[in-house]
Amino acid sequence: MDRASGLPLHIQLHDELRADIESGRLEPGAKLPSELLLSERFGVNRLTVRQALAELARAGLVVPRQGVGTFVAPRPETVEIDIDTGDWVTKHERATEAAAIAGREVVEKLLGVEEVEAPRSVADHLGHGVMLWLETVHTLDREPVFRSQYWLRTAPAPAQVWERAEQGFGYQAIRDLIGQETVQAWRAFDAVAASRRDASVLKVPTGAPLLRHGGLNTDTAGRPLLYLLRASPSGRVRFVARPRPREDHR
């Protein structure tokens, strides 16, 4: 714990435990150490531990069981719906273009680039190892609407990414960095509570509800190239899925 940072200790502890959960170091169903053990491990009092655990519970990351302890929440059930998303990116680009034509200011700004070890949630789809991580924010009339994170299996060095960002950022920039077109393999949607970083970028309170979508892009042979996550405040974006009719539909 960094007592000189000015950040409340319970938030620092919350962030430490959240990182352990989201990276997979703490598996779903795992029991967290007791308040006493956590207070000794991190050098804080038990009230601080209690506050951090309460924040995690509000975010749906842990489940307290009275008289038993606190456990990592199970992963949400997956319900698969077969719809045609082949032109998802194209439609997203058209929506962006339409907003710009209507005189609205639409910008995707690069916030950060790092070479990182893939977290477990990403490694499950892209494979293990060091890859390039990018963070951007989409704004509409200067109001943030998306915080996006991209993990790229193959890409240039961070300095080259910053150079490319000077020409503007967006889907074309991602294609340029990868060096080829990509194909959407799948997309998933869920609701999450805003992390401290989400809150800072999107200008919402920590713990505010966010709509998140993400998924995997591959090359034309099905080899994974890109994993993305994109989060938006629940009141700023609405997604509408309209399944296409099929000839064999009855």
Q: Can you spell out the DSSP letters for 98-145?
A: HHHHTT--EEEEEEEEEEEEPPHHHHHHH-SSEEEEEEEEEEETTEEE
Say which CATH class 9-72 falls into.
Answer: mainly alpha
Q: What is the pLDDT of residues 23-78, one digit of tens each?
A: 788 888 999 999 999 999 999 999 999 999 998 888 788 999 988 999 998 876 55
Going by DSSP bridges, is the β-strand pair 106-117/183-193 parallel, antiparallel, or unpaired? Answer: unpaired
Per the CATH hierarchy, to which homologous superfamily does domain 88-233 belong?
Answer: Chorismate lyase-like (3.40.1410.10)
Contact 124, 148 (CB under 8 A): no
Mean pLDDT across the chain: 82
- High-pLDDT (> 70) share of the chain, %: 84
CA 232 to centroid of chain Cα atoms: 10
Residues in the chain: 250
Taking phi over 0 as left and psi of -120 to 50 as alpha, with beta for the rest, 24 belongs to: left
pLDDT at 250: 40
pLDDT at 51: 92
Q: Is the dihedral of CA 31, 37, 42, 44 positive or negative?
A: positive
For residue 148, pLDDT beyond 50: yes
Contact 113, 133 (CB under 8 A): yes
Domain boundaries, the chain: 9-72, 88-233
Lowest mean pLDDT among 13-17, 177-181, 222-226: 177-181
